[in-house]
C-alpha cells in the first residue's frame, strides 16, 4: 500500500502529460465544498475518485469541466495553467465528462444526438445524412457498440443504458480528448454493456488519455483503476495504489471506520412465522417455499437472472402467481392485488427506485405519504397538516439530508432517495418489508445508515427479506441466507455456516436435475407443513 498523499502547495506543477487541480478550494457562500485539493490525473492511467455523497466529487468534476470556477487554486494541463470559464472551453482543451444523468435530445436520432453541435453539412446548411450515417457507423464499430445502439432511434425511444452509451460516444468522438471523466457510468448498464464499456476505457487509457472514474462500486474500482483518490469532507484524504490497497483501507479513508463496524447484528427473531410462501410459481420462478419470522432478516442471494427480483414483485402483487399460496400473518393473499398486499402489511422497496418507487418531480412529503393517504383523509380531502407532520417525523427519524420536506426527490442523492422510499414504508408500519438491492448506487456512509434502519426494523418485529448482489452485505445483515438459481431455490444457510464460498456454490449449482426433482424447501425447523 502506498502512503496517502496530502495536498501539495498550490504552486506545485504536475508532470507533463497530466491534468491536475492545484490547491483548489470552492465555496458556495458559507459552505466550503472543496478545501485545498491538489490532485494529479496522469495520462494513460485510470484514476478512481471515491468518497461519500457530499465529499466534493461532483464539485471537483464541475471545476475540471468549466461548470464551476474555483474560489482558490486552478486547473492545469501538461503543466500549463487553464482558466476554464465554461464547459465549451474545457471541451476545446480536451476535457470531457460523461454525466450520471445523460442529457438527450428526445426528438432527434441517436446519430444527431452524438454529433450535436458538429453535424456534417452540405450546401452550407443542409444536414449531410449520408456522411452522418458513415461517421456514426464507423464510430459504433470502433467503440464496440455496433448492434447495441441503433443510430436511427429517437432519443425518446432509448433505454437508460442506451442513453448512457450516447453520452459516452459524444465524449470520445470529434476533437481529440485528453481527459475523460466517467461519473457512475454503469448505474443503468447490463453486464454485457459493462464489459464493453470497460474494454473501451482500457483502450482509451492505452491511447494516453487520462481517465477519471467515479463510482461507489468497489469491484469496478479494483477492476479498472491504477490509482484511487479519496475525498472526505471536501479535502483529499489520500491517494492509494489500486494494486496495493484493500477495500477496508479505502472505507477507512472515506468514513473513518472499518466496514465490519457498519453491520449491527442482534438476534431478535421470534418463532412467529409472519410470511409463509408455499409452492409459488410464476413466469420467472418455480415452486418457491419460504418462511420468514417476525424480527428475522433473511438474505436472498443469487446471480443475475436467478429470479430474485421477480419473486419480490410477485409477493408484492405486481406480477401474477400461477400456482401456490402466499400467507401473511394468517391471511391468504390473492395474486395480482398490490393494494390488498399493502393493506395486509407487506411493503416492497424495489431495485429500480427511480423508475419503480419514487415520484421524482414530487416532494419528499408527497412521496412519504403515498401509501398512507387513507389515514390522512378527512372526508375526501387530505389533512395537509397531518401529512406534513408525518413526513417530517420520518424525514427526521431517517436523517434524510434535505433543506425541507417540500424539496423535490429528484434533487436528492441516491442514499437520501432510498431513505425516502424507506420512510414511506415505515409510515405504513409493515409486518413484512422486502428490500431489493437497498444500497445499490449509494455511498458507504449512507449504507451504514441503511444497515442501522434494517436492524431497528428487525428489533421492532418486522420480518425482512433483503435481496443483495453484494455478498459481504448479505453475510453482514442476514440471520439466514436463501440462495436462488434459474428461478428455483437451491438451498439455505444459517448464519453460522454462511460464507461467500458456500453462497456462490449454491448460486452456481447445476440445477438440471431440478427439472425432475422437487425444489429445495426453506421452511423453518419445527414449522408445520
- Does 205 have pLDDT greater than 50? yes
Q: Is residue 191 part of a domain?
A: no
Q: How confident is the model at residue 258 (pLDDT cuts 50, 70, 90)?
A: low
- Classify the phi-psi angles of 512: left when phi > 0, otherwise alpha if psi is within -120 to 50, otherwise beta: alpha
The per-residue pLDDT for 151 is: 87
Q: Which residue has the higher pLDDT, 54 or 233?
A: 233
For residue 221, being part of any structural domain is answered with yes
Class of residue 231 by CB neighbours under 10 A (exposed 0-12, middle 13-18, buried 19+): buried
* 477/335 same-domain check: yes
Q: Which of 199, 227, 256 is the last residue of a domain?
A: 256
Residue 288 banded pLDDT, cuts 50, 70, 90: very high
For position 17, what pLDDT does the model report?
Answer: 58
pLDDT of residue 512: 35
pLDDT band, very low/low/confident/very high, at 230 (cuts 50, 70, 90): very high
CB atoms within 10 A of CB 380: 5
- Using DSSP's 3-state secondary structure scheme, residue 205 falls into helix
Query: Is the same domain home to 265 and 410?
Result: no
What would the DSSP string read from start to end of 307-329? SHHHHHHHHTTSS---EEEEEET
Question: What does the pLDDT read at residue 6?
Answer: 36
> How far apart are alpha carbons 528 and 113 in whole angstroms?
60
pLDDT given at position 233: 82
Q: In the structure, what pLDDT confidence band is assigned to residue 46 with cuts at 50, 70 and 90?
A: very high
Average pLDDT of the residues in 289-316: 92
pLDDT of residue 129: 86
Chain-wide mean pLDDT for the chain? 84
Q: Identify whether 296 is part of a domain.
A: yes
Query: Tell me, what's the pLDDT at 394?
Result: 86
Lowest-confidence segment of 164-168, 235-239, 275-279 by average pLDDT: 164-168
Q: How confident is the model at residue 239 (pLDDT cuts 50, 70, 90)?
A: very high
Integer distance in angstroms from the first to the last C-alpha of the chain?
A: 54
Q: Are residues 216 and 73 in the same domain?
A: yes
d(CA 460, CA 480) in angstroms, rounded, equals: 18
User: Do both 305 and 333 map to the same domain?
Assistant: yes
Residues 241 and 264 in one domain: no
The C-alpha cell at 186 is 454503469
SS3 161: helix
Per-residue pLDDT tens digits for 311-368: 999 999 999 999 999 999 999 998 888 889 999 999 999 888 888 888 889 999 998 9
Span 260-271, mean pLDDT? 76
Q: What is the 3-state secondary structure (H, E, C) of 82-126?
A: ECCCCHHHHHHCCEEEECCCCCCCCCCEHHHHHCCCCCCEECCCE
CATH code for the domain in which residue 324 is found: 3.40.50.300
pLDDT of 509 above 80: no
The domain of 416 spans 359-429
Whole-angstrom distance, CA of residue 19 vs CA of residue 156 = 36
Report the alpha-carbon distance of residue 192 to residue 189 in Å, rounded. 8
* Within-domain flag for 317: yes
115 domain-assigned:
no
pLDDT band for position 164 (cuts 50, 70, 90): confident
For the chain, how big is the Rg over CA atoms in Å?
25
Number of compact structural domains in the chain: 3
Is 84 a member of any domain? yes
Together in a domain, 461 and 411 = no
* 441 has pLDDT over 80: no
Residue 270, pLDDT above cutoff 80: yes
Residues 89, 222, single domain; the answer is yes
**Residue 435 and residue 339 in one domain:** yes
- Among 429, 460, 491, give the residue marking a domain's end: 429
The CA distances from residue 428 to 342, 372, 396, in Å, are 9, 6, 16
How much is the pLDDT for 257?
Answer: 62
Give start and end residues of each alpha helix (H) in 144-227: 160-172, 191-206, 218-224
- Quick check: is 492 in a domain? yes
d(CA 367, CA 354): 12
CA dist., res. 293 & res. 328, Å (int) = 11
pLDDT in tens, 58-76: 899 999 989 999 999 999 9
Same domain, yes or no: 440 and 450? yes
pLDDT at 11 over 50: no
Same domain, 516 and 450: yes
Strand 18-28: give its sheet, edge to edge: 31-42, 18-28, 72-77, 80-82
| Lowest mean pLDDT across 44-58, 374-388, 391-405, 503-517 | 503-517
Mean per-residue pLDDT for 503-519? 59
| The three grid cell numbers given for residue 272, joined into one nine-digit string | 412467529
Determine contact, residues 281/287, Cβ cutoff 8 Å: yes
In this structure, the answer to whether residues 243 and 280 fall within a common structural domain is: no
Residue 197: pLDDT band with limits 50, 70, 90: confident
- Choose the final residue of a domain: 383, 412, 429: 429
Q: Which of the pair, 331 or 510, is modelled with greater confidence?
A: 331
Of 71-75, 100-104, 249-253, 290-294, give the lowest mean pLDDT range: 100-104
**Mind listing the pLDDT tens digit for each residue in 457-476?**
999 999 999 999 888 889 98
pLDDT digit string, tens, across residues 400-432: 888 889 999 988 887 888 889 988 888 888 999
Confidence of residue 522 (pLDDT cuts 50, 70, 90): very low
Query: What per-residue confidence (pLDDT) applies to 87?
Result: 87
Res. 222 pLDDT band, cuts 50 70 90: very high
pLDDT of residue 162: 81
Is 287 a residue whose pLDDT tops 90?
A: yes
198: in domain:
no
d(CA 199, CA 88): 28
Q: Do 398 and 333 share a domain, yes or no? A: no
Span of 80-94, 145-159, 506-520 with lowest mean pLDDT: 506-520
pLDDT in tens, 109-137: 888 988 887 888 887 788 888 888 888 88
The pLDDT, as a whole number, for residue 332 is 93
**Residue 514 pLDDT level (bands cut at 50, 70, 90):** very low
Amino acid at each position: 500500500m502506498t502512503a496517502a498523499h496530502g495536498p501539495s502547495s498550490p504552486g506545485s506543477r504536475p508532470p507533463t502529460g497530466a491534468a491536475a487541480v492545484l490547491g483548489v478550494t470552492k465555496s458556495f457562500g458559507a459552505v466550503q465544498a472543496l478545501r485545498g485539493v491538489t490532485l494529479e490525473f496522469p495520462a494513460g492511467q485510470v484514476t478512481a475518485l471515491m468518497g461519500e455523497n457530499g465529499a466534493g466529487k461532483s464539485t471537483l468534476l464541475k471545476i475540471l469541466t468549466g461548470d464551476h470556477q474555483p474560489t482558490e487554486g486552478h486547473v492545469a494541463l501538461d503543466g500549463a495553467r487553464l482558466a476554464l470559464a465554461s464547459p465549451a472551453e474545457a471541451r476545446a482543451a480536451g476535457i470531457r465528462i460523461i454525466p450520471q444523468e445523460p442529457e438527450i435530445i428526445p426528438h432527434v436520432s441517436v446519430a444527431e444526438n452524438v454529433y450535436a453541435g458538429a453535424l456534417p453539412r452540405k450546401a452550407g446548411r443542409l444536414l449531410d445524412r449520408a456522411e452522418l450515417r458513415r461517421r456514426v457507423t464507423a464510430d459504433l464499430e470502433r467503440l464496440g457498440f455496433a448492434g447495441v445502439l441503433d443510430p436511427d432511434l429517437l432519443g425518446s425511444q432509448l433505454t437508460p443504458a442506451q442513453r448512457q452509451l450516447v453520452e459516452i460516444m459524444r465524449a470520445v468522438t470529434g476533437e481529440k480528448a485528453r481527459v475523460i471523466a466517467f461519473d457512475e457510468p454503469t448505474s443503468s448498464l447490463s453486464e454485457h454493456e459493462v464489459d464493453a464499456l470497460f474494454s473501451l476505457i482500457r483502450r482509451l487509457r492505452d491511447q494516453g488519455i487520462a481517465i477519471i472514474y467515479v463510482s461507489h462500486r468497489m469491484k469496478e474500482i479494483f477492476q479498472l483503476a491504477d490509482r484511487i483518490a479519496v475525498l472526505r469532507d471536501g479535502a483529499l484524504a489520500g491517494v492509494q495504489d489500486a494494486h496495493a490497497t484493500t477495500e477496508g483501507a479505502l472505507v477507512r479513508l472515506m468514513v473513518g471506520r472499518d466496514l465490519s463496524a457498519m453491520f449491527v447484528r442482534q438476534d431478535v427473531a421470534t418463532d412467529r412465522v409472519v410470511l409463509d410462501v408455499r409452492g409459488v410459481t410464476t413466469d420467472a420462478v418455480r415452486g418457491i417455499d419460504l418462511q420468514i419470522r417476525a424480527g428475522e432478516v433473511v438474505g436472498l442471494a443469487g446471480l443475475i437472472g436467478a429470479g430474485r427480483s421477480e419473486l419480490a414483485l410477485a409477493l408484492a402483487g405486481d406480477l401474477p402467481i400461477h400456482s401456490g399460496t402466499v400467507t401473511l400473518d394468517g391471511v391468504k393473499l390473492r395474486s395480482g392485488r398490490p393494494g390488498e398486499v399493502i393493506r395486509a402489511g407487506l411493503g416492497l422497496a424495489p431495485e429500480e427506485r427511480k423508475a419503480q418507487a419514487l415520484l421524482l418531480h414530487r416532494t419528499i412529503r408527497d412521496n412519504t405519504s403515498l401509501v398512507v393517504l387513507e389515514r390522512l383523509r378527512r372526508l375526501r380531502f387530505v389533512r395537509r397538516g397531518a401529512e406534513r407532520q408525518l413526513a417530517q417525523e420520518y424525514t427526521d427519524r431517517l436523517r434524510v439530508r434535505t433543506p425541507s420536506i417540500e424539496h423535490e426527490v429528484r434533487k436528492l442523492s441516491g442514499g437520501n432517495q432510498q431513505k425516502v422510499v424507506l420512510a414511506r414504508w415505515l409510515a405504513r408500519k409493515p409486518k413484512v418489508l422486502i428490500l431489493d438491492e437497498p444500497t445499490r448506487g449509494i455511498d458507504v456512509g449512507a449504507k451504514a445508515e441503511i444497515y442501522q434502519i434494517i436492524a431497528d426494523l428487525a428489533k421492532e418485529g418486522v420480518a425482512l427479506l433483503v435481496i443483495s448482489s453484494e455478498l459481504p452485505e448479505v453475510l453482514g445483515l442476514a440471520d439466514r441466507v436463501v440462495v436462488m438459481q434459474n428461478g428455483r431455490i437451491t438451498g439455505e444457510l444459517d448464519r453460522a455456516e454462511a460464507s461467500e464460498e458456500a453462497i456462490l456454490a449454491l448460486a452456481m449449482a447445476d440445477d438440471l436435475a431440478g427439472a425432475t426433482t422437487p425444489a429445495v424447501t426453506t421452511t423453518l425447523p419445527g414449522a408445520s407443513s
